[in-house]
């Protein structure tokens, strides 16, 4: 158990130390520090409840994987970037990134709580000059225990 604690401390220190290149728009800053379960709307067809996972300290590490062979101009270097998370569920993740991602791109996330998962980008929209809101679904759903570690 001590090893996990040290790992989480080291990961937290690394994520806090690395500046996030996302430039948050002013209108998003006021809504940013929400916590708890996210409300749903009547037209949403979600399988799992979403939880807000926001704030300047709520970062994840993202690595884009070379999964778009039909677009060689979009080959991304294997760099790990900090991104701001906005919400998480057992089925997917919403996050803010400084550059545009494309549907079908695969990514690797390292989340707080020692959770590493592959996700596929579903949608991406620009919300600021260096800020894109991105929605992705996990290629393997998170367990209930993993969700508890992330949103705790």
Average pLDDT of the segment spanning 34-52: 62
- Would you place residue 121 in the very low, low, confident or very high pLDDT band (cuts 50, 70, 90)? very high
Q: What element of type H or E holds 147? A: helix 144-151
User: pTM (2 decimals)?
Assistant: 0.75
The residue among 78, 87, 133 whose CA lies nearest residue 106 is: 78
pLDDT reported for residue 25: 81
More confident residue, 128 or 43: 128
Provide the mean pLDDT of the chain: 76
Q: Is 3 a residue whose pLDDT tops 70?
A: no
Q: In terms of C-beta distances under 8 Å and separation of at least 24 residues, what long-range contacts does 113-122 make, across chains too?
A: 113/8, 113/146, 113/149, 113/150, 113/152, 114/4, 114/7, 114/8, 114/11, 114/149, 115/142, 115/146, 115/149, 115/150, 117/142, 118/65, 119/92, 119/93, 122/92
Domains and CATH numbers, the chain: 2-39+46-151 (2.40.10.220)
Would you state the pLDDT for residue 119? 93
**Tens of pLDDT, residues 62-83:** 888 877 666 666 677 777 888 8
């Amino acid at each position: 158990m001590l090893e996990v604690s040290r790992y989480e401390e080291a990961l937290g220190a690394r994520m806090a130390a690395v500046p996030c290149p996302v430039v948050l728009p002013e209108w998003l800053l006021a809504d940013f520090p929400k916590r708890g379960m996210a409300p749903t709307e009547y037209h949403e067809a979600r399988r799992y409840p979403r939880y807000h996972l926001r704030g300047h300290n709520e970062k994840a590490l993202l690595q884009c994987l070379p999964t778009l062979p039909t677009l060689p101009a979009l080959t991304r270097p294997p760099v790990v970037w900090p991104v701001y998370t906005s919400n998480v569920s057992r089925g997917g993740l919403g996050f803010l990134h400084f550059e545009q991602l494309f549907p079908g791109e695969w990514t690797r996330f390292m989340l707080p709580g020692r959770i590493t998962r592959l996700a596929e980008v579903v949608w991406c929209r620009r919300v600021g000059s260096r800020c894109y809101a991105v929605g992705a679904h996990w290629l393997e759903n998170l367990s209930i225990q993993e969700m508890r570690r992330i949103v705790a």
